[in-house]
DNA sequence: TCTTCATGCAACAAACAATATTACATGAAA
DNA sequence: TTTCATGTAATATTGTTTGTTGCATGAAGA
């Protein structure tokens, strides 16, 4: 399965934006992320709808953070992305006629739901400020520019 | 993302095998599962290596269970399948040079590892016998043959 | 006003992974 | 020796994520 790396990617983008002055263009962010500007726009569009970032067109335009790093959690970002599928495994059929499959699905769903609950709880525990703090700690240790990619 | 349904599928197969007398051919199982016999063979090959099933070639051959439903757990089956990837989400880069990415990855990995631990614990909690029991309970409630698919 | 720069968005292409299919070899029973 | 069934490799199909192109929209500046 191809893993969805949007959550990881958008967090990367947000932290970089926090380190930059003024609005940043999709082009610049795409450079940092080694991807395409359109991909950046697509991804940030979800965050804009949730009021986490703003975008301005034209000369001097670009993207700007407009959220509180102390209160926004990884879970908020996950939701802003449209709550993408968590698991790479799933049931063969979601609404089976077979009673065997029903029994299997019931137990599988139970296990996966519990795991998902834990994941969401953990995502809610971490704020963007937490990530930023850890990044700056890393910076202190190794005294060089914060990113090459 | 296309979800891996092998675990779900192989559990379905095992429970059906438990309801049948003598060896069952890949062809028959494929019929039940609405898939291809080769897919069945491929999947069961992993279980055979773990000593959970046996296969016999030629006339009167096929697949036979050779494990104790009371002690084999869903986790054992998961392992027999080669421990396929659990999550549909992942880090953009596993070994980043970027310190921002390092900070992001660290928190993400932590959250995912905890969720995975819970999932594995839940899979270890459920035996094949548990599934079989639930299936038979379902059978009692609705008095008809145990499967159409 | 007209050019330039930037996002918004839709349509399309490429890359990749899971599943399905085909073809042929191997081995056992009738 | 024919038939049946698994073993396995190679290939095709399908679906999803990511990347790309093209054009419209809107804002700043000359």
| A140 within some domain | no
Give residue for tokens 């080769």: B38
Q: What's the whole-number average pLDDT of chain B?
A: 89
CB contact under 8 A, B87 and A86: yes
Mark the nucleotides of strand C covered by protein, meaning any atom under 7 Å from a CB: 4-11, 15-23, 26-30
Query: Which domain range does residue A11 map to?
Result: 6-132
Q: What is the pLDDT of residue B1?
A: 57
CB contact under 8 A, B131 and A3: no
| A123 within some domain | yes
Span B37-49, mean pLDDT?
A: 96
| B149 within some domain | no
What end-to-end distance do the CA atoms of chain B give, in Å?
Answer: 25
* A99-125 vs B6-18: helix crossing angle, rounded to 10: 150
Q: What's the CA–C1' distance between B4 and C18, in Å?
A: 7
Q: Compare CB distances from A114 to B88, B122, B131 and report the shortest one's residue.
A: B122
Residue B142, pLDDT > 80, answer: no
Q: pLDDT tens, B124-138?
A: 999 999 999 999 987
| B14 within some domain | yes
Q: Cα separation of A47 and B96, whole Å? A: 24
What's A55's domain CATH number?
A: 1.10.10.10
Q: What is the pLDDT of residue B51?
A: 95
Span B111-116, mean pLDDT?
A: 94
Q: What is the pLDDT of residue A145?
A: 47
Subset of residues 125-144 in chain B with CB less than 7 angstroms from any atom in strand D? none
Residue A66 has a CB neighbour count (10 Å cut-off) of: 11
| B147 within some domain | no
Question: Which residues are CB-neighbours of B145 under 8 A, at least 6 positions away?
Answer: none
Q: Select the residue from A13, A103, A112, A120 to test the B interface by mutation, using most B Cβ atoms within 10 A.
A: A103
Q: What is the pLDDT of residue A63?
A: 97
Q: Kindly provide the b/e burial profile for residues A67-97, where b requires at least 16 CB atoms within 10 angstroms of the residue's own CB.
A: bebeebbbbbbbebbeeeebbbbbbbbeebe
Q: Compare CB distances from B111 to A97, A119, A147 and report the shortest one's residue.
A: A119
Which residues on A lie below 8 Å from B1 (Cβ)?
A: 1-4, 85, 88
- Is the torsion defined by CA of A138, A144, A146, A147 positive or negative? negative
Q: Cα separation of B16 and B88, whole Å? A: 29
pLDDT more than 70, % of chain B? 89
Total number of domains constituting chain A? 1
* B6-18 vs B37-49: helix crossing angle, rounded to 10: 80
Q: Cα separation of A89 and A106, whole Å? A: 14
Residues in chain A: 149
Angle at A19 between CA A18 and CA A22, to 5 degrees: 75
DSSP H helical segments within B50-141, as ranges? Answer: 74-80, 99-125, 128-141
Residues of chain A with pLDDT under 50: 144-149
| A27 within some domain | yes
Q: How far, in Å, are A93, A94, B43, B85, B147 from residue A97 at the CA level? A: 9, 10, 23, 28, 7
Q: What is the pLDDT of residue B147?
A: 47
Span B4-27, mean pLDDT?
A: 93
| B49 within some domain | yes
Q: Cα separation of A101 and A79, whole Å? A: 31
B71 vs chain A: nearest CA distance in angstroms?
16
Q: Cα separation of A54 and A140, whole Å? A: 30
| A111 within some domain | yes
Residue B56, pLDDT > 80, answer: yes
Q: How far, in Å, are A44, A45, A112, A126 from residue A82 at the CA level? A: 12, 11, 19, 19
Q: What is the pLDDT of residue B99?
A: 84
Which of B19-28, B69-78, B135-144 has the lowest average pLDDT? B135-144
Identify the CA nearest to B74 among candidates A86, A114, A108: A108
Span B32-46, mean pLDDT?
A: 94
B56 vs chain A: nearest CA distance in angstroms?
25
Q: Select the residue from A18, A24, A115 to test the B interface by mutation, using most B Cβ atoms within 10 A.
A: A115
Q: Kindly provide the b/e burial profile for residues A6-43, where b requires at least 16 CB atoms within 10 angstroms of the residue's own CB.
A: bbbbbbbbbbbbeeeeebbebebbbebbebeeeebeeb
Q: Kindly provide the b/e burial profile for residues B12-21, where b requires at least 16 CB atoms within 10 angstroms of the residue's own CB.
A: bbbbbbeeee
Q: What is the pLDDT of residue B102?
A: 84
Nucleotide of closest approach to B1 (CA, C1') = D16
Cβ B31 to strand D below 7 Å: no
Q: Cα separation of B102 and A139, whole Å? A: 11
Q: What's the CA–C1' distance between A58 and D27, in Å?
A: 5
Span B78-93, mean pLDDT?
A: 90
**Residue B97 · residue A70 · CB < 8 Å:** no
Residue B31, pLDDT > 80, answer: yes
B80 vs chain A: nearest CA distance in angstroms?
15
Q: Cα separation of A86 and B82, whole Å? A: 20
């Amino acid at each position: 399965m191809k893993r969805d790396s949007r959550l990881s990617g958008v967090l990367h983008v947000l932290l970089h934006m926090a380190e930059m002055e003024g609005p940043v263009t999709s082009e610049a962010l795409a450079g940092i992320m080694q991807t395409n500007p359109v991909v950046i726009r697509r991804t940030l569009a979800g965050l804009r709808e949730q009021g986490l970032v703003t975008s301005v067109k034209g000369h001097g335009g670009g993207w700007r953070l407009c959220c509180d790093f102390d209160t926004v959690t990884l879970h908020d970002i996950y939701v802003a992305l449209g709550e993408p599928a968590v698991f790479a495994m799933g049931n063969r059929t979601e609404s089976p006629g077979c009673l065997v499959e029903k029994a299997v699905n019931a137990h599988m769903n139970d296990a996966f739901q519990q795991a998902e609950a834990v994941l969401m709880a953990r995502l809610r525990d971490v704020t963007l400020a937490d990530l930023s703090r850890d990044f700056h700690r890393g910076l202190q240790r190794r005294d060089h520019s914060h990113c090459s990619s």
